[in-house]
Amino acid sequence: MTIDELTRNRSAWLRADMPMADIVISSRIRLARNVAGFPFLAKADNVQRREVYRLLRDSIDRAQVADDLTFIDLETVDEMDRQVLMERHLISKQLAESDGSRAVAFSKEETVSLMINEEDHLRMQVLRSGLQMDECWAVISRIDNAIEEHIDFAFHTRFGYLTACPTNVGTGIRVSAMLHLPALKLTGEMERAFRAAKDMHLAIRGLHGEGTEATGDLYQISNQTTLGKSEEEIISEFKHLIIPKMVEYEKRARQAMLREKSTALDDKIWRAYGLLTHARTVSTEEALFLLSHVRMGVSLGRIDSLKLEALNDLFLMIQPAHLQKLAGKKLNGEERSTARAELIRKRLTNVNTN
């Protein structure tokens, strides 16, 4: 699959037909691994980076992780292509912006992504729509075992898997969910949710992970502790305690707004819809802000002509690199704002495309 083809597909993890999908957009499990006998990337020279690349690519091929893997050498593609991959959550911001020997392999449905030479030598991730932690774990555990049959990972009998960042040492697992939390923001309860997350040793980041802002009321919530707990314990706590608690906070805030400020709520929802269906230019930040309100309106049944899946897709398609790929050329800021507004108008007013 080429990157141009990728931009015309809808990622499987954006489907909205899974548990808690009105609030939990996606689940993700990531594993960090390093090749035994090689220094971490911060200390590796170019020769060592290339050798790690070669060994991991060979191991991934031999492991037959998936029949439909696309492998992309990130040194051979331009900045816009790397930006597309980042916008689709197939690579991290760090991998997109770094240099040297590095690559990504991903499945056709974009639910599996294997990053070579990111912060660690190998970062595997599996994405699913809604709250599907067990399903993510079943797939990524199989992939991890298959690759480890062909290469030795750095492992200590006392500390577990050795990773570049100390917070990943042990299992090397990072469990996360992308949540849509507009009501907590509107009611001023977001700070309370942040405090609860901090008490549970969680990290809260923006749309594209570490170092990004929570635009569109989209937040990535992930564990910060990997040492001293098994993978199953971490996943179970996340699935049964952490995410349900955050979802309950958001649901309570939405119900409170419906009870106490229904007219003001409807005004925000329909005002956002009106702006998006009539605007001729719109920035990424403003579009995400307005789409967030529209998505909440669909979740609450205030708008019945749209589907959550179509809105999830719009959050991705209005990003700068995607707009330029769809246009088939580079666009300046003003041109992107115009193209973004046109795309949103088309998607929101023609319900047969949703």
Q: What is the distance between the alpha carbons of residues 312 and 321, in angstroms, rounded to a whole number?
A: 17
133-148 helix and 46-63 helix, angle to the nearest 10 degrees: 110
**CATH value at residue 212:** 3.30.590.10
Any domain includes 105: yes
Q: What is the distance between the alpha carbons of residues 268 and 180, in angstroms, rounded to a whole number?
A: 16
3-state secondary structure 228-266: CCCHHHHHHHHHHHHHHHHHHHHHHHHHHHHHHCHHHHH
89 with 208, same domain: the answer is yes
119 with 247, same domain: the answer is yes
Range of the domain at 35: 3-254
Q: Which of 12, 1, 2 is nearest to 316 (CA)?
A: 12
Higher pLDDT, 192 or 163: 163
Angle (nearest 5°) at CA 113 between 84 and 243:
95
pLDDT at site 229: 82
267 with 118, same domain: the answer is no
What the block records as the tokens of 198 is: 């901090």
Q: What is the pLDDT of residues 205-256, one digit of tens each?
A: 876 555 455 678 999 999 877 677 889 999 999 999 889 989 999 999 999 9
197 with 345, same domain: the answer is no
54 with 161, same domain: the answer is yes
Q: Residue 353: pLDDT above 50?
A: no
Please provide the average confidence, as pLDDT, over all residues in the chain: 92
Any domain includes 354: no
267 with 289, same domain: the answer is yes
Q: 237, 254, 271: which is the final residue of a domain?
A: 254
Q: Which of 68, 113, 71, 70 is nearest to 92 (CA)?
A: 113
Do the beta carbons of residue 18 and residue 131 sit within 8 Å? Answer: yes
268 with 165, same domain: the answer is no
Give the chain's domain count.
2
102 with 226, same domain: the answer is yes
pTM of the model: 0.91
Do the beta carbons of residue 353 and residue 314 sit within 8 Å? Answer: no
Q: Residue 283: pLDDT above 60?
A: yes
**CATH value at residue 301:** 1.20.120
88 with 70, same domain: the answer is yes
197 with 305, same domain: the answer is no
Q: CA distances (Å), 14 to each of 73, 91, 217, 313, in order?
A: 25, 16, 16, 6
- H helix or E strand, kind and range, residue 128: strand 122-129
235 with 86, same domain: the answer is yes
Any domain includes 310: yes
90 with 225, same domain: the answer is yes
Q: 254, 279, 298: which is the final residue of a domain?
A: 254
Element counts in the chain: helices (H) and strands (E): 14, 10
**Lowest-confidence pick of 1-10, 52-61, 158-167:** 1-10
Q: What is the distance between the alpha carbons of residues 317 and 342, in angstroms, rounded to a whole number?
A: 12
* Range picked from 159-173, 279-293, 338-352 for highest mean pLDDT: 279-293
Helix (H, G, I), strand (E, B) or coil at 31: strand
Q: Give per-residue burial for 73-89: e unless 16+ CB within 10 Å, then b.
A: ebeeeeeebbbbbbbbb
pLDDT at site 256: 95
Confidence band (pLDDT; 50, 70, 90) for 68?
confident
Do the beta carbons of residue 146 and residue 65 sit within 8 Å? Answer: yes
pLDDT at site 223: 84
Q: What is the distance between the alpha carbons of residues 22 and 251, in angstroms, rounded to a whole number?
A: 10
Q: 201, 232, 254: which is the final residue of a domain?
A: 254
pLDDT at site 10: 83
Confidence band (pLDDT; 50, 70, 90) for 202?
confident
Average pLDDT over residues 169-190: 92
Confidence band (pLDDT; 50, 70, 90) for 191?
confident
Q: What is the distance between the alpha carbons of residues 43 and 41, in angstroms, rounded to a whole number?
A: 5
Any domain includes 31: yes
Q: What is the distance between the alpha carbons of residues 246 and 248, in angstroms, rounded to a whole number?
A: 5
